[in-house]
A = this chain, B = another copy of it.
């Protein structure tokens, strides 16, 4: 690893009154711009008397959390300037969109990326009008907001994102505001424990600031309504040193309020500097730094601080009534219009902006400059920092295959050898995340070169278990945490992989929704540079939950993902070890996608040699001529299609039965790796034209499709193709328990015998053989079930999970000619 940059020396110098007054002015300016964005579409500096037509007809947005966010931003700025900190600002309460837009505008960043919104009266008018306006910008902190890596929609991920962003950024700090609403969510509640996984020397710093704003939409928050000593216990229990601040509830002189908070923030930053210095000293002496009790700040302020105290006689500042738009009738009633006028003028805009409408220079000077501005930190537009991974050639890791299915390999174990070298060659920029399953998923080769990073207590035998103070594998039993960390890591320009159970990846359904939305929007924002894809490796999949059974069976994450925008989502079902390697190589090179890769960890036949695997993955799907019995130039009688490793085995076995029992039947075998290929080319960039589709699946012959997941997904993907009702799909239909692997297939009618029966039922003119073979297949199913129920294991003829041993397989070279010369785009 390269030398770790040192943390800036502490410079504890109490701010002067005039400094504090400048901070106060900057805060007023940010609040003024926030209120302006919510309400105004004209007369931005109130240089004319406020009229109803200056007010937007639809008032949309959230005021309540905003003034607290701007207050903290202003103070962070002072600290950055004074200490030379490299910082970003993570806004947990993302409803406060106007505050963060205001801050980036005041820092000049906004006008740099959106030149139409300049530092003048017209720019202000545009800034105000566009907010929550058709054709404008969203109401939340969003991809459109410079300096943000954290969409302010769904709550609960601020700390996970912050810690992910700070991994391997040892000289940076993330000021991370946690809303007391989001603090009630599960993901946030566990994300405090991130501090047990962060290395104080080689990673950056997260300073959590718990914003006790007091209220949600209609309720008080839990953490604002427990005694302060109980909250202090909670934070100490989470491993932090809490520092408390309360402001805004009385008539304290603002300068004094700012002074008190500056002291609290300085105390926190001094503690951090001490911790970082000690960690550097320990590293030099090759000592492990004991986990420090990092500071955090509890920041209590009234919801809607500096807003109207009362509206229509009802308490507003310090109440949930400040949550959204407190003066809902500002355009409709004189009273509300006057209230709004008073509120806006209370910030004294005439003192804040010069004649042209620009922030006065002496106030602007309270913010840092250049990339030290939190709104311009390049890590918050991580694509600009991103460098491609140094990837070892995956071809060197493939398994030798003499005949299709003639070699047996555990796909993820093979992948592990490549990932080991990917890790070793990218020690600063690649991490593997997962709840607890890197080894269980047989990727343990990575432990040859790295460890699991851990910063809680160590015991003697831990080192043998690959626990260490630094390491590229991050494991905590919270899919939310893993997802949040990885997102934060990717969003700041790095690379990673999420390895998990297929069923439980649904835990992050809602999180990945937000990430997919982020990617979709950033595709449309010119100044946002592309980031690395978020790649899932789902290895403990639905068909092999041998120890766990029904509760662990759910292949529906694929279904969930294909609802996202086509340009963002990719789904791969590599059938064996070699195609898995080729697929993952592609995924780790890609940008701006969510890649879902499903691949088993059990010993499976390898069907394709290196070249054929590359060709097959490049095409995404293809005819496996060597597996079928079709005659060149003739339309086959039936297509056996498959997607997924286990369905591929069953399809190969069904094809073998058909070859033996109905040698005259012309069977085509098709395997699908890239599920998106089944769509129409108007629906997805990977989709097939009707002509290409017919070329593979025939024009009007039956298709018996064995699919890894819920069968109707295949119909949903292929429905635009003509005559698709001829496609008959088998797959997991939610029938499971703790039983044998083959019994699982039989319960879902996806076993080889049933596939043969499906062919018999669909192909006409089979003659007398038909009924006999159907009966034979039914008998085979009965026998297989009876054997399992008696012996507890699968009947030997299927137990090997093989199409046959190598000797059974056609020895002719696979008939899939390389089309694109091994390119693995």
Binding site for B on A (CB under 8 A): 41, 56-58, 60-62, 94, 129, 132-140, 142, 151-156, 181-182, 184-191, 193, 196, 216-222, 225-227, 230-239, 315, 319-320, 324, 436-440, 452, 454, 456-459, 461-462, 465, 467, 475-481, 503-504, 506-507, 509-510, 513-514, 517, 520-521, 546-552, 554, 556, 559-560, 563-565, 710, 712-713, 715-716, 719-720, 722, 724-725, 734, 737-740, 743, 785, 788-789, 791-793
Contacts and interface: CB of A to CB of B under 8 A. Distances in A.
Nearest to A157: B186
A182 B719 contact: no
A15 B462 CA distance: 39
Given A139-B549, A218-B439, A549-B138, A188 B185 contact: no
A608 to B, nearest CB: 30
B506 A457 contact: no
Given A153-B548, A716-B719, 15 more contacts: A129-B792, A134-B740, A134-B789, A139-B549, A189-B189, A218-B475, A219-B452, A225-B456, A226-B239, A230-B236, A236-B237, A507-B509, A563-B734, A720-B725, A722-B725
A787 to B, nearest CB: 9
Contacts of A236: 230, 233-234, 237
A39 to B, nearest CB: 12
A216 B743 contact: no
Contact of A184 (B237, B476, B549): B476
A133 B738 CA distance: 7
Number of copies: 2
12 contacts: A57-B791, A60-B738, A133-B738, A134-B740, A138-B737, A185-B477, A189-B478, A190-B190, A219-B454, A506-B509, A712-B719, A724-B725
B222 A196 contact: yes
A743 B134 contact: yes
B186 A792 contact: no
A190 B192 CA distance: 11
A142 B737 CA distance: 10
A181 B477 contact: yes
B712 A549 contact: no
Nearest to A315: B461
A324 to B, nearest CB: 6
Nearest to A140: B551
Contact of A233 (B237, B552, B710): B237
B712 A547 contact: no
A788 B134 CA distance: 6
A565 B479 CA distance: 25
Contacts of A142: 549-551
A209 B310 CA distance: 47
Contacts of A477: 155, 181-182, 184-185, 216, 219, 221
A152 to B, nearest CB: 7
Contacts of A459: 220
A506 B508 CA distance: 9
A504 B225 CA distance: 25
Given A60-B546, A135-B739, A738-B136, A792 B226 contact: no
Residue of A188, A320, A548 with most partner-chain B CB within 10 A: A548
Nearest to A227: B457
Contact of A217 (B440, B476, B724): B440
A547 B139 contact: yes
Contacts of A193: 184, 189, 222
B513 A510 contact: no
B57 A792 contact: yes
Given A225-B456, A740-B58, A133 B559 contact: no
B230 A237 contact: yes
A436 B216 contact: yes
Contacts of A789: 133-135
Contacts of A62: 547
A186 B187 contact: yes
A181 B129 CA distance: 50
B222 A467 contact: no
Nearest to A462: B220
A230 B791 CA distance: 50
Count chain B CB atoms within 10 A of each CB in A554, A720, A788 and give the residue with the most: A554
A556 B517 CA distance: 14
A136 B740 CA distance: 11
Nearest to A507: B510
Contact of A478 (B94, B184, B456, B547): B184
Contacts of A554: 510, 513
Contacts of A436: 181, 216-219
B513 A58 contact: no
Which of A129, A467, A480 has its CB near the most chain B CB atoms (within 10 A)? A480
A700 to B, nearest CB: 14
Contacts of A137: 738
Contact of A218 (B187, B191, B440, B740): B440
Nearest to A732: B563
Contacts of A481: 184, 186
A187 B219 CA distance: 20
A196 B506 contact: no
A291 to B, nearest CB: 9
Contacts of A734: 517, 520, 563-565
A786 to B, nearest CB: 10
Given A513-B506, A548-B153, A792 B58 contact: yes
